[in-house]
Amino acid sequence: MMKITEGYMPYLGHKTYYRVVGECTGNKKPLVLLHGGPGSTHNYFEVLDRLAEEDGRQLVMYDQIGCGESYLDGHPELWNAKTWINELIELRKHLGLDEIHLLGQSWGGMQLLDYVCNYKPEGLKSLILSSTLPASWMWGIEQHRMIKFLPQEMQDAIDKATSTGDYSDPAYIAAETEFMLRHAAGAVTEDSPECLRRPVKKGGEAYVVGWGPNEFTPEGTLKDYDVTEQLKDIKEPTLVINGGNDLCTPYIAKYMYDRIPNSRWELFRTCRHMCFVEDNDRYVELMKEWLNEND
């Protein structure tokens, strides 16, 4: 049975929940996981718990302030990159995470890139950019390109909502739901992993204030995020992962791969935004190979 340790770190007068799976063995460095959103939770990363057992690799995951077991609402002043990156800095200190591998998925990858490019942290053995982005403007452009593959009436509903700022129309809601079904994730069913079925407090305010009303309208505090010019300066070995039907399109993934010097790109052709869920076996094998190469 894997050892699982849960706890809370004091942060900004509130608390940050963390979950540590397994123990450090030999020279294997812990893998720290940064979840998406902003305002999602660590839950979906639990499908990677098997890495701790199969590879003797400690995993560290946490709910960023504003969601899950770190839920907080009514604090729009907190929902910005500085809050979340400083939280990661403090968590590394709190848990003594001097040398780590760092994986960021979706918004977590934005957080990772901002951290690496603008804070110059020490002790990063490798980076994993899973279905993420180097600039908010690029994400918006690619989502709007993919919207054009929806039926015309759905395109029209999205155009109307984005032009008026009214996202309450049932036609828009249906269109956005279809878009996310195609590119983000399928519906959770009784056959889904337990960690996906478990009730969870999503950080709705954190998402809207931080990002915007939907994936294709980045107008929140992260709207000016852009590290495209700094990708060439990343020194750490970097693994870029995305799915063929992902919100992170092959264009976005290749853009990062082309500009990060010591990088590798793995395309999960049939997957959407959560490759580690939809092709868990391949993802876990890739993690074992990559992490052991770069310890």
pLDDT tens-digit series, residues 148-188: 999 999 999 999 999 999 999 999 999 999 999 999 999 99
The residue whose two tokens read 């591998």 is 101
Write out the two tokens for 173.
């809601």
As a whole number, mean pLDDT of residues 99-109 equals 98
Catalytic site residue 159? no
Report yes or no: 247 and 215 within 8 Å, Cβ to Cβ: yes
Active site annotation includes 183: no
Q: What backbone phi and psi angles, to 5 degrees, belong to 102? A: -125, 120
Q: What is the DSSP letter of 153?
A: H
Q: Is the pTM of this model over 0.75?
A: yes
Structural domain boundaries in the chain: 4-137+192-293
Catalytic residue, candidates 35, 42, 183, 273:
273
Q: Which two tokens stand for residue 87?
A: 């939280």
CATH of 4-137+192-293, one of 3.40.50.800, 3.90.120.10, 3.40.50.1820, 3.20.20.70: 3.40.50.1820
pLDDT grade, residue 25 (50/70/90)? confident
Q: Give the separation between CA 76 and CA 57, rounded to whole angstroms.
A: 36
State yes or no: is 166 an active-site residue: no
**Catalytic member of 126, 131, 246, 263:** 246
At residue 295, what is the residue type?
D
In the set 106, 130, 131, 263, the catalytic residue is 106
Residue 280, helix vs strand vs coil: helix
Work out the burial of residue 229: count CB atoms within 10 Å of its CB; fewer than 13 is exposed, 13-18 middle, 19 or more buried.
exposed
pLDDT digits 0-9 by tens, 28-70: 999 999 999 999 999 999 999 999 999 999 999 999 999 999 9
